[in-house]
Amino acid sequence: MVLARSPQAHRALNTQFQEHQVSKVYHALVMGEPDWTEKDIDLPLRPDGDRRHRTVVDFQRGKPSLTRLRVLERFEQFTLIEAIPESGRTHQVRAHLSAQELPIACDALYGAGGGIYLSQVKPRPRIGAKPEIPLISRLALHARSLAFLHPITLNALCFEAPYPGDFADFLQALRAGA
User: What are 27-58's pLDDT values in tens digits?
Assistant: 999 999 999 999 999 999 999 888 889 999 99
Query: What is the percent of the chain with per-residue pLDDT over 90, rounded to a whole number?
Result: 74
What confidence score (pLDDT) does residue 128 get? Answer: 64
| DSSP code at position 92 | H
User: What separation in angstroms does the CA of 137 have from each of 14, 108, 118, 156?
Assistant: 33, 10, 12, 35
Q: pTM of the prediction?
A: 0.90
> Of 137, 144, 79, 81, which is closest to residue 112 (Cα–Cα)?
137
Is pLDDT larger for residue 118 or for residue 129? 118
User: What separation in angstroms does the CA of 44 have from each of 20, 77, 97, 133?
Assistant: 16, 28, 13, 38
Domains and CATH numbers, the chain: 7-124+131-177 (3.30.2350.10)
User: What is the mean predicted confidence (pLDDT) over 66-83?
Assistant: 96
pLDDT at 84 over 90: yes
pLDDT at 121 over 80: no
Summarised one tens digit per residue, pLDDT across range 147-159 is 999 999 999 999 9
Distance of CA 149 to the CA centre of its chain: 23
pLDDT at 178 over 60: no
User: What is the mean predicted confidence (pLDDT) over 140-168?
Assistant: 96
